[in-house]
Amino acid sequence: MAPSAYVVPIVDSTSVFKLDIFKGKVLFCTGGGSGICRGMTEAMMRHGANAAIVGRKVDRLTQAAKELSQATGQECIPTQADVRFPAQLKEAVAKTIAKFGRIDYVICGAAGNFLVPISGMSENAFKTVMEIDTIGSFNTIKATLDHVRASKGAYIHVSATLHYTGTPFQAHVSAAKAGVDALSAVLAVEEGPNGVRSNVIAPGPIQGTEGMDRLGPKGEAANSRRNGYPSGRMGTVGDIGNATIFLFSDAAAYITGQVLPVDGGSMHLQSTF
């Protein structure tokens, strides 16, 4: 495909959304120490939310919480937990409630990923990603639901677009993210009557993240991919942040049980011609 004549602009959330729409609200975000989930947390904090970020690596979490607080003027606390262990998540939730008194929004974003064909993948490798992505999301829902019901809040699950087709070397992640999409849909219909919404953001190719740097195409392959993106560029963490703000805001009050791909149209691109 020829290079795109038009490049979609990068839009700052503060030029679109009010600065105080999440004032007094609290976000609980797994995987918030880095990458896309850190960016989603920053977007929510820029618009008034306080946050607890959850991850395994305490040094990275502590540093990220400090930087997020400095950048936004809101409060962010690090809460160490491995989403595979419900007791650790319960502790992280208790710490969040002790600090902020409530949880309004939850991002289930903790994820594992590496490239390996099915033929070379160990049973434990497959299981590990299922446990982090799918069971970890279930554990996060269980640990937070009472609080989200109390605040009539909402969930966003971070999925992917790779399971809509057969993406090589991603059997574990594809199966896990399909499970995440299904989990969110059930949560939406079961908890709608309790005032809780649940949606999925499915990011496409997002530049500058650890996942993309480690797993995405490199060199010439990366350049030719980039030229073919329908929107003329890769996505940014800010693009995912903008979608996050919208989906958590009251403007999305009638949107639940949905999957929102944020991929610049990439998943519809037929690259065989």
Question: Nearest approach, Cβ of 87 to ligand HXC (angstroms)?
Answer: 17
Residues 92-131, one symbol each (x = binds ligand HXC by CB under 6 A, - = not), give -------------------xxxx-x-----x-xx--xx--
Q: Is 177 a catalytic residue?
A: yes
Per rule CB under 6 A, is residue 40 in the interface with ligand HXC?
A: no
Q: H helices of 152-236, where?
A: 171-191, 210-215, 219-227
| Per-residue CA distances from 133 to 24, 129, 152, 211 (Å) | 29, 6, 25, 14
Q: How far is the CB of 17 from ligand HXC (least distance, A)?
A: 25
Closest CB to ligand HXC among residues 116, 252:
116
Selecting among 13, 34, 174, 177, the annotated active-site residue is 177
Alpha carbons 61 and 38: distance in angstroms, whole number: 10
| Between 124 and 270, CB nearer to ligand HXC | 124
Continuous segment of H or E residues that includes residue 267: none
Evaluate whether 230 touches 4 at the Cβ level (below 8 Å): yes
Query: Which residues in the 181-220 window bind ligand HXC by CB under 6 A?
Result: 210-212, 215-216
User: Whole-angstrom Cα distance, residue 29 to residue 135?
Assistant: 16
Listed residue (166, 191, 160, 190) closest to 178, CA to CA = 160
Binding flag, residue 160, ligand HXC (CB under 6 A): yes
Nearest to 46 by CA among 76, 77, 7, 80: 76
**Residues of this chain that bind ligand HXC (CB under 6 A):** 111-114, 116, 122, 124-125, 128-129, 132, 160, 173, 210-212, 215-216
Instruction: Point out the residues that are catalytic.
Output: 159, 177
